[in-house]
């Protein structure tokens, strides 16, 4: 497994990380706690040690699953979790409702301290490796937010500071008040907006980039049956990218890459993850998994090597697909 370092923190982790949003069940049509625990442990066994979670993933459910999975193995994992999406207060800005609870974007000092303690309990640990502001709160000065994060770092409750869903301007404001070790942003073969400004800014300031949704919510994992139904609150049911028409168009994309996939001896999902790592835009490619086999397959992408010609073939196929959607 390729390794990387989380910015100025010096924390070493795997270049492929396990994302646990779907394990929380919310917006994914439910979940299976026991299967999720096994998937996390399988990831560790396969060399993936960065485990990314958040309180909002099932209102604490995902964090609790991670805590259970890491019993006796805490030293094997680099835990990234988040703050700033809260349901214990109505301060800040209402963002969404989850299972009947209004959730607010809020990054006030006292709230961050409260969230950190709750996360430590659910994760069954006394420190968090990387603590990330999940979504930005425009009602709280960045200086106040960073002051709280730096205080937690001084106390030893967190080892590194991260931000997520930021603009270059907001990241620059954070950097005025202290070191930022990582920025977590959406990035995949078909979501490359950060390449223009944010990623170069991160590179300039030694901020590691964690790319979430490397498989675009599963869209890039391989051909999807046009007749497949996404049930319950699964967000893909209403996502235009997962419409029957678009799933049919994806066939041409995967058909174009089939010879390369066969040559590499890997799955389509592994090829897409390998592309994300090889591009060099992100330090870590975060990939979701809910069962053991998904976790093992994602980890296997670490051994897939793509040369320049392969990267060009994948880029060209993606461009043709996106042009067809226009």
Predicted confidence band at 30 (pLDDT cuts at 50, 70, 90)?
A: confident
In a domain, 326, yes or no: no
Element holding 82 (H helix, E strand): strand 78-83
The mean pLDDT of the chain is 95
Q: Is 22 helix (H, G, I), strand (E, B) or coil?
A: helix
Predicted confidence band at 229 (pLDDT cuts at 50, 70, 90)?
A: confident
Among residues 57, 106, 187, 212, the one annotated as catalytic is 57
d(CA 43, CA 112): 29
Name the residue with higher pLDDT: 66 or 231. 66
CB contact at 8 A, 263 and 9: no
In a domain, 277, yes or no: yes
- Reference 81, options 42, 37, 41, 115; nearest CA is 115
Range 216-224 average pLDDT: 90
**Segments forming the whole domain that contains residue 262:** 3-321
End-to-end Cα spacing for the chain? 37
* CATH number where 306 lies: 3.20.20.100
Q: What single-letter DSSP state applies at residue 195?
A: G
Q: What pLDDT does 111 receive? A: 98
Burial 36-48 (b: 16+ CB within 10 A, else e): bbbbbbbbbebbb
In a domain, 39, yes or no: yes
Q: What single-letter DSSP state applies at residue 86?
A: E
In a domain, 264, yes or no: yes
Range 213-222 average pLDDT: 91
Q: Is 320 helix (H, G, I), strand (E, B) or coil?
A: helix
131 is catalytic: no
In a domain, 49, yes or no: yes
d(CA 324, CA 326): 6
In a domain, 212, yes or no: yes
Beta-bridge partner residues of 31: none
Predicted confidence band at 233 (pLDDT cuts at 50, 70, 90)?
A: confident
Taking the alpha carbons of 292, 191, 301, 13 in that order, is the dihedral positive or negative?
negative
pLDDT, one tens digit per residue, over 72-122 is 999 999 999 999 999 999 999 999 999 899 999 999 999 999 999 999 999
pLDDT for residue 326 is more than 80: no
Q: What pLDDT does 243 receive? A: 86
How many structural domains compose the chain? 1
Q: What pLDDT does 225 receive? A: 82
pLDDT for residue 325 is more than 70: no
In a domain, 156, yes or no: yes
CB contact at 8 A, 4 and 48: no
pTM (predicted TM-score): 0.94
Q: What are phi and psi of 316, to 5 degrees?
A: -65, -40
Range 271-286 average pLDDT: 96
Between strands 284-288 and 16-19, the pairing is parallel
Q: Which stretches within the chain are classed as H helix?
A: 33-45, 61-69, 109-123, 142-155, 168-177, 198-204, 244-264, 268-279, 292-300, 308-325
In a domain, 176, yes or no: yes
């Amino acid at each position: 497994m390729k390794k990387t370092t989380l910015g100025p923190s010096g924390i070493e982790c795997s270049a492929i990380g396990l994302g646990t949003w779907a394990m929380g069940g919310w917006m994914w049509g439910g979940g299976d706690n026991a299967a999720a625990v096994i998937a996390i442990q399988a990831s560790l066994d396969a060399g993936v040690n960065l485990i990314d979670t958040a309180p909002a993933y099932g209102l604490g459910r995902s964090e609790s699953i991670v805590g259970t999975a890491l019993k006796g193995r805490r030293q094997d994992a680099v835990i990234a979790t988040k703050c700033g999406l809260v349901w214990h207060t109505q301060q800040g800005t209402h963002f969404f409702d989850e299972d009947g609870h209004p959730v607010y974007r809020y990054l006030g000092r006292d709230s961050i301290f409260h969230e950190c303690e709750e996360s430590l309990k659910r994760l069954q640990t006394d420190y968090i490796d990387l603590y990330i502001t999940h979504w930005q709160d425009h009602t709280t000065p960045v200086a106040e937010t960073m002051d709280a994060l730096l205080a937690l770092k001084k106390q030893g409750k967190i080892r590194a500071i991260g931000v997520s869903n930021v603009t270059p301007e907001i990241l620059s404001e954070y950097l005025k008040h202290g070191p930022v070790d990582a920025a977590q942003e959406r990035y995949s073969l078909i979501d490359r907006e950060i390449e223009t400004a944010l990623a170069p800014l991160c590179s300039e300031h030694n901020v590691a980039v964690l790319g979430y949704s490397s498989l675009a919510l599963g869209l890039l994992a391989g051909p999807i049956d046009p007749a497949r139904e996404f049930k319950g609150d699964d967000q893909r049911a209403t996502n235009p990218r997962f419409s029957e028409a678009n799933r049919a168009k994806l066939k041409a994309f995967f058909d174009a890459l089939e010879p390369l996939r066969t040559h590499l001896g890997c799955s389509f999902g592994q090829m897409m993850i390998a592309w994300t790592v090889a591009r060099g835009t992100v330090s870590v490619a975060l990939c979701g998994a809910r069962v053991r086999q998904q976790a093992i397959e994602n980890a296997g992408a670490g051994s897939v090597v793509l040369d320049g010609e392969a990267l060009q073939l994948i880029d060209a196929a993606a461009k043709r697909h996106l042009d067809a959607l226009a």
